[in-house]
Amino acid sequence: MSTITMYGADWCGDCRRSKRFLDANNVAYTYVDVETDLSAADKVIEINGGAKSIPVITFEDGTHLTEPSDNDLKAKLEALKVL
């Protein structure tokens, strides 16, 4: 099973879109709300080199995607053989 974590917020349209994509493709992931978990908000800033951009989706291979399109997210999941 893949270890995927998505950092996002309920008000974020890109976050809702990425969640819909993951859910529609039955991809298991952990969702972390950066609005309620301040350490997660700090983690996002660390991953993004100072930027607060979300969603940030991290993968078991140590890589991440920030604000990915559905096509980019699909390509990454296919490369990891999750899809």
Which strand (E) or helix (H) includes residue 73?
A: helix 70-79
- CB of 29 closer than 8 Å to CB of 6: yes
The counts of H helices and E strands in the chain are: 3, 4
What does the alpha-carbon distance between residue 12 and residue 59 come to, in Å, rounded to a whole number?
20
The answer, yes or no, to whether residue 1 has pLDDT greater than 90, is no
* Structural domains of the chain, ranges and CATH numbers in brackets: 5-79 (3.40.30.10)
pLDDT in tens, 43-61: 999 999 999 999 999 999 9
What does the alpha-carbon distance between residue 77 and residue 58 come to, in Å, rounded to a whole number?
11
pLDDT in tens, 4-39: 999 999 999 999 999 999 999 999 999 999 999 999
**Predicted structure pTM score:** 0.94
pLDDT in tens, 64-74: 999 999 999 99
